[in-house]
Amino acid sequence: MKTKYIICVFLCAILFSSCEDVLETKTTYEWEDTDVWRIPDMAQGVLMNAYVAIPIRPDNYGNNFLDCATDNALTTSYESNVYKAGMGGITAFANPLGNWSNAYSQLQHINIFLEKGLTDNVLYNRSDLLTDSIIKSRLKGEAHFLRAWWHHELLKIYGGKAVNGKALGIPLAKKYYTQEETGVFENFERAGYDESVAFIISDLDTAMNLLPNAYTGTDVNLGTTHIGRANRMAAAVLKARVYLYAASPAYQDDDIIQLNGMGDFTVLDETEYQRKWELAALKMDTIIQMTNFGVFTAMTSANLVDATNATPSDFVFRKFFNTNALEMQHFPPFYYGNANTIPSQNLVKAFGTKSGFPQNDPRSGWATSAPYSNLDNRFLMNIYHHGRVFGAAGGAIDVMKGGKDSPEYDQRASRSGYYLAKFVSTKNTMLNPTLTTNSIHYTPLLRRSEVFLDFAEASNEAWGPKVKGPGCKYSAYDIIKDIRSKSGGITSTTYLDEMALTKDDFRKLIQNERRIEFTFENHRYFDLRRCLLPLNEDVYGIEVTVENDVPVYTERKLEARSYEVKHYYSPLPYEELIKNIYLINNKGWE
Amino acid sequence: MLNTKESKMKNNKYNFIFIYLLFSWLIISTSYAQTNKKVRQSKQTFVELNSKVVDEEGNPVKDASIITGESAVIMFTDAKGKFKTKVPSNATIIIEAFGYTAQQYQLAQKVLPKEVMLKKEAIFSSEEFMLNRADGSRVSQRNLVGAVGTIKGKDLMSYPDLVVTNSLQGKAAGLVIRNNVSGLGNNTPSVFLRGQHTNGNSQALIMVDGIERPLEDLLPEEIEKIELLKDATSKVLYGPRAANGVLMVTTRRGENNRRSLRITAEAGMNQITRLPQYLNSHDYAGLYNEARTNDGLVPFYSQQQLDGYQNSQGASDLLYPNVDNYKEFIKPQTSYKKAVLEMNGGNNTVKYAVIAGFTGTDGIENSATATLLNRFNLRANLDVKVTDYLSLVAGVSGRLEIRSWGAMDGSQLFTALSTHRPNEYPFTISPEDIGIPADSSGLPHFGAGSRQASNLYANMMYGGKTAERYANNQSNLGLNFKLDRITKGLTAGAYITFDNYDYYKESQIPVNATYDVSTYNNANGILDTLYTQMLKYAPATRKSRINAETSRSLGLRANIGYENHFGIHSVSSMLGYNYAKYEVKGTAQDVINATYTAHFNYDYDNKYIVEFNSALMGSNRFAAGNKFFLSPTIGAAWIISNEDFLPQSGNINFLKLKASYGVLGYDRNTDYLMYQRAWADNGTVSFGEANNGNKPRVTSMVRAASPDLKWEQSAELNIGVEGLFMNNRLRSELNYFNENRTNIIGFQSESYGDYLGSYVYNTNMGSVTNQGIEGYVSWNDKIGDFSYTLGGNFIWSKNKLTTWNDVVPTEEAYRSSIGRPTDAMFGLVSQGLFGKDVALSGHPFQTFGPYQEGDLAYDDLNSDNVIDGRDQRLLGNSFPRTSFGIDLTLNYRGWGMYVLGAGETGINKWANNNYYWNRAEDKYSVTALNRYHPANNPNGTYPRLTTTTGENNFRNSTMWLLNADFFRVKNIEFSYTHTDRSVTAVAKQIKIFARGTNLFVISSIKDLDPELLNGGIINYPLMRAFTGGVSFTF
């Protein structure tokens, strides 16, 4: 009997012992809040998200350049977002170029870092409080720069106009928002465009005050090991860009600029419009006149690819990669690439001849029989054309029927007759299936040169081509002449002088200069929109045939760009609009 | 090809040797048993039995079975209740009949009376109708207040399949088995009980002998029965993982005074049912050119190439290859063999069951290294009555599976078969053509495509080998105490299970050199052939272990029960504790559940039954203080047939009304540690020149804390009626169920702006209601020697998402998921083809991709003159509304026939695999012939061909919605059983049988299998089995 009682007691013990103890979780490699805001590596790590989210490759629009959504280029990846955008696929419900949630996500990281990562709880150097404050001020500067960067990324896409004609910006993420706070929608109205700009500029000013000019020397905290972080120059260049956009016709209230149709607008309030450009030009001039800012330098192919380990000084904010991923996407199929982004005939025609004239000017010396000879230096930097040797030691590009780079050879061959040269390596055997190699690439995100073109545009609008603004170092003419000479190899100023006679002609020249200087740097889509240029130019390619042993080049229309007037502004995300009644959509998308 | 045959023969030889060894052992052991028996029998005397079986009123009992000699020798009483046989004088005789308590006689002690009286027993309360419960208690079908279905293991044996779970389809009411496409022997289906319970995981829980275990580890011969626990009172005792229903499998155990030794050998073949059809090189090239032209591009294939394909020399034609991949690499049929030894028996103190089985099959791949699967199952279950008050249950089992195949597994092979185009590359290139001397080892030069570096022929014929081992062992040990000495009816028990699962895969795969062959006009305009090496040869130097997994589980149970009768009152109760822990290598958290249960059943006068079951469910997924959830349930039943007001005729033998209701917690859809905010390391970011400088770490938010998260819970109502009618010939049950799943966890994104980023926490935001009807009816009768059973079962269910986050304006309510079933399929409404059915001009702009004549036109549902994602509405549903099964069993003397049919109705599928969607540079299937082209095929119904990805056409729409209703003849068995009751017989029973599975299917989908649209495209197709075999019962 005794044993039975013991068993009984034992069973009862099992039955009613150990309540929650057995229901434990295993240790994880996760950290709690208190760790993150105490340990400097982890605190800084929160901010680093905002760097990581900036794409490493320039062809980051679904393995394509954003130029494919413009008349500069086409893509062979028909499922890509740029292709969808180009054929009119932008809707509020699905915006292939939308960056709303990604950008706000980064802003949350930045804001929580600003609030919690710079307090006395986190010591970036425990032994030396001076070093700690140096690091903190650098991090604070970086955070403000990144907050400006991501706000401007949003502003580039979503900035626009309401139906009442007011230029609108975006809801500003001035602080870290909790889940409850993001549910209070009246706090998320769109700020006016100017208010958005002011907020971004104030962030950039803060950043410029805190950041070093550049990361040089061997200093542990501010030396070369930190290249790639935001610096004062980067903030300055971004500032110029923000002012340029802010003065552009697309972002003026209706009583200043009236949009009449595709590529057509009227300035209603010349004074106010002028004032904006003057402000922009003066701000840009201050930047140009900063110590160590230097002069315009031409970009070479070797700055971008097959480069050295030394970041070109032009690239004040850049990303770096040493792979062949970009070549995989854009090499011709004969060299095992996918020929994803292919330049258009429209772009080819934008390059003038070395004598400084456009191709269609009778004085240019351009001939239909040799359409690619003697063009602006930047042509070869950008484009592989029929007959040009591919890479350092490849065969001549042959797009004639049945040729090695023709659509009869491979289904993915270029249909425009051109292949991309900018950013792609000259190592033509790079993708050899049994022996692949890498190449050093830079993705310039902010270039000093940009400020010169920004200034030229603003100065021309403010004071005309040849007038130097008050206190300004250059006139628009000075700068364009310099750029054409350095980048294009154009010494003759005949055509330039002709164009400099009127502001309107010179504007067109500057716009074209910007187009060929910044090809495939993902500028044109935004430039077309902000300048209210026609978005819907048909895109052409070239067909090469032989008649009587002489190659004949025939233009062929390949694609229409199905943009409408409303595409000057992007629709805000549909789901956000439904949730938030305080959110006003852009014109044309109500 | 020689290689294939050789290795196949070798493998066949091994199989043969194994089977031979198994059989010799069986024969030796049985003949040893025989001789033993003979020695024993030679001393025995025999007695002649000649008795009559009667009931308490003296009426003869017809069809009572007389079981003698511990074995399977069974005879039946005739219409007068009489039987006559000769048995050893010391035999034990069991006499049983449906509705009566079985009687047992040991002739050595007691002579069988001339009239054996059987006591009437309450219907559904005999041992056969006892149901096991998770807490260790048992309840009879009669006293059951809930809904529990039962499938007998012996009913599954007629289905030859490597995965026993597949044989459950159509077998029971409420059970929905959904086939999955997978490789040989891996096609475990998804199992559902009573439809879709939630918008997360709705699959049922499968338990084997008291703990969660994979059912496919078992042979049907190992299964005694599978109980399907469907209502709240039944499920609650299983803890927090049971709310979607439980399949509780009980393995076979020995039976008192019944011994059987059965050896079964079965062999046959597996045949492919349906394979997708693709176009040959010439047809493909012609249509591809059409697609190019459609896109405004120049044709890709020249006339010379088209002619070349027309006159192709076949797979190794250098410039114009034409390959039928399926024909080259797939065999139409394969072999299947199985041998099983079953032994069970016992006496009043020790009972045992031993099952050993071998299953072997080869794959349908035509490859140098044959695909083989050999599986060994072993199980031994033992019950020992140690003393009057202590008994022990023990069981061990294991499965060892050895597989081998070549370089490509089923998924890789079929994906390649369905994507490598017929003209992609020549299999081999002659040394003369390529100008590279022949390899001294005889390895040919292999072709490749410029986009397809690997060569199927090289991989299949010279690709190396892969091997896989899966082994598990499972053990159970339990102690049961009868504590009558303390209080009559008091019991206690303890039970422990411990399982180990081990899996690894290793391979030895060389890379064969391949060469792309392409032609182009060189700089001089002359056609040049270019050979480019796409892959370099790399020998398989050593075996590499590519995958290894282990997992284990531990289960504990303790319980105290009390059961007694006081006059017309009966009570049965149990307090239990159940602990289970599942650990899988590499997962962050173990599954740990601890549940306290209380069960109380009260029966008044065999008429009114009430039951309370409740559980305090514990889970490690919740915060401290919230780890437990109290689930109360209640049920009641009324046995109307026991009421006096019902005429006691033979028409209503049993009739019960029952209802149950309860609230169950469910933790399987809840993630771990949701209550605590956490960050994790997310790599680094690189600074410095060439990224060689500072590399700070990136810290990412894993989750924000949701400290107040409640348990997902399910409130369930079941109302049912069950009965037995027409002199026990008609049995039927019908249940209505209504379930309300609430507190489903999710992020309420409709209430918060996107400005939140990743700093999101979850709330109890969702709810789903699920309701339906299920039932079965079975009729069995006997006319002379002819007996038959005809049965049918069905379930109809439909659920509805009642709350969830949904950002849809009211005018577009048609695309809201709320108020819709969780298996809803949303898509665009196709109006037909532009240019054929709809005019292109004036149609609202479609935003998905470029479109032209021949492309799909969609309906602008919200009339905003733009077709986009907002024009998608509910089109169908992906889970069957109704699943049903029909079975027929016929027996005449020794002849038997069994037919099972299963079907689903109210179900749709998307025709969205590459068989239906011919686009870009994909392989074209025969459906490409049905494309629309204004000149070439004006009557075509599929959209025009395109070399783009066809974003406008290839998206979910009514165009691609299929009605996937089907009825399948799932299983047929023909058998003849020779019974020799004489004591000198070699075997008591010899059964010869022929079996077939998946014989044919009726559906509107004719070209692919309606259940497995991806079968033969991404992995193995559905197979049809034909087997024959024999079993000896000694």
User: Is a pLDDT exceeding 60 seen at residue B72?
Assistant: no
Beta bridge partners of B722: B656, B733
Residues B920-973: tens digit of each pLDDT: 999 999 999 999 999 999 999 999 999 999 999 999 999 999 999 999 999 999
| pLDDT of the residue at B75 | 76
Angle at A272 between CA A173 and CA A479, to 5 degrees: 85
Nearest to B689 among A42, A227, A434 (CB): A227
Scored b (16 or more CB within 10 A) or e, B765-802 reads bbbbbbbbbbbbbbeeeeeeeeeebebbbbbbbbbbbe
Token pair listed for B947? 């070399």
Higher pLDDT, A40 or B41: A40
User: Is a pLDDT exceeding 50 seen at residue B7?
Assistant: no
Give the three-class secondary structure for A509.
helix
| pLDDT of the residue at B4 | 42
CA-to-CA distance for B374 and B376, rounded, in angstroms?
7
Which residue has 């050093």 as its token pair?
A440
* pLDDT band for position B27 (cuts 50, 70, 90): very low
In percent, how much of chain A has pLDDT > 70? 97
CB contact under 8 A, A52 and B698: yes
| pLDDT of the residue at A3 | 55
Q: Which residues of A touch B577 (CB under 8 A)?
A: 14-16
Stated pTM of the model: 0.92
| pLDDT of the residue at B17 | 52
| pLDDT of the residue at B441 | 86
Instruction: Check: CB of residue B138 under 8 Å from CB of residue B131.
Output: yes
Cα–Cα nearest to B877, from B954, B798, B806: B798
Scored b (16 or more CB within 10 A) or e, B139-163 reads bbbbbbbbbbbbbebebbbbbbbbb
Beta bridge partners of B192: B176
Size of interface A-B (CB pairs under 8 A): 287
- Give every strand in the sheet of B82-88, ordered side by side: B82-88, B46-54, B115-117
Scored b (16 or more CB within 10 A) or e, A186-221 reads ebbebbebbebbbbbbebbebbbebbbbbbeeeeeb
A283 touches chain B (CB under 8 A): no
Query: What average pLDDT is seen over chain A?
Result: 94
User: Is a pLDDT exceeding 80 seen at residue B188?
Assistant: yes
CB contact under 8 A, B688 and A36: no
Angle at A30 between CA A24 and CA A35, to 5 degrees: 110
| pLDDT of the residue at A7 | 56
* pLDDT band for position B28 (cuts 50, 70, 90): very low
Nearest to B558 among A15, A26, A87 (CB): A15
Which residue has 């870009």 as its token pair?
B920
CB contact under 8 A, B847 and A227: no
Which residue has 């001089």 as its token pair?
B524
| pLDDT of the residue at B116 | 85
How near does any CA of chain B get to the CA of A63, in Å?
16
Residues B501-512: tens digit of each pLDDT: 999 999 999 999
In percent, how much of chain B has pLDDT > 70? 95
How near does any CA of chain B get to the CA of A105, in Å?
4
Q: Virtual CA dihedral for A444, A446, A452, A454, nearest 10 degrees?
A: 120
Where is average pLDDT lowest: A19-23, A388-392, B637-641?
Answer: A19-23
Sequence-separated (6 or more) residues with CB below 8 Å from residue B364: B184, B270, B272, B330, B331, B332, B333, B334, B371, B1020, B1023
Cβ of B108: how many Cβ atoms within 10 Å?
A: 11
CB contact under 8 A, A398 and B453: no
Sequence-separated (6 or more) residues with CB below 8 Å from residue B682: A45, A49, A52, B697, B698, B699, B700
Nearest to B450 among A48, A78, A410 (CB): A410
Token pair listed for B53? 């079986």
Instruction: Check: CB of residue B146 under 8 Å from CB of residue B133.
Output: no
Instruction: Check: CB of residue B332 under 8 Å from CB of residue B1026.
Output: no
CA-to-CA distance for A114 and A499, rounded, in angstroms?
49
Rounded to a whole number of angstroms, the distance between the first and last alpha carbons of chain A is 86
Nearest to A226 among B516, B593, B687 (CB): B687
CA-to-CA distance for A249 and A239, rounded, in angstroms?
18
Instruction: Check: CB of residue B335 under 8 Å from CB of residue B434.
Output: no
Instruction: Check: CB of residue B747 under 8 Å from CB of residue A177.
Output: no
CB contact under 8 A, A108 and B758: yes
How far CA A423 is from CA of A299, A443, A479, A483, A512, in Å, comes to 12, 9, 25, 20, 20
Residues B746-781: tens digit of each pLDDT: 998 889 999 999 999 999 999 999 999 999 999 999
CA-to-CA distance for B1013 and B1019, rounded, in angstroms?
11
How far CA A17 is from CA of B594, B617, B876, in Å, comes to 11, 15, 51
| pLDDT of the residue at B874 | 96
User: Is a pLDDT exceeding 70 seen at residue B42?
Assistant: no
Sequence-separated (6 or more) residues with CB below 8 Å from residue A454: A240, A241, A243, A244, A280, A284
CB contact under 8 A, B699 and A49: yes
Radius of gyration of the CA atoms of chain A, in A = 28
Cα–Cα nearest to B820, from B796, B803, B800: B800
Radius of gyration of the CA atoms of chain B, in A = 33
Q: DSSP per residue over A268-334, as a string? A: S-HHHHHHHHHHHHHHHHHHHTSTT--------HHHHBS--SSPPTTEEEEEEEEESHHHHHHS-GG
Q: Which residues of A touch B808 (CB under 8 A)?
A: 578
CA-to-CA distance for A529 and A508, rounded, in angstroms?
15
A27 touches chain B (CB under 8 A): no
CB contact under 8 A, B690 and A309: yes
* pLDDT band for position A8 (cuts 50, 70, 90): low
| pLDDT of the residue at A183 | 93
Q: State the SS3 of A112-159.
A: HHHHHCCCCCCCCCCCCHHHHHHHHHHHHHHHHHHHHHHHHHHHHHHC
Nearest to B755 among A4, A25, A177 (CB): A177
Rounded to a whole number of angstroms, the distance between the first and last alpha carbons of chain B is 45
Q: State the SS3 of B305-371.
A: HHHHHHCCCCCCCCCCCCCCHHHHHECCEEEEEEEEEEEEEECCCEEEEEEEEEEEEECCECCCCCC
Whether ipTM exceeds 0.95: no
| pLDDT of the residue at B41 | 46
How near does any CA of chain A get to the CA of B877, in Å?
24
Cα–Cα nearest to A427, from A324, A566, A540, A356: A324
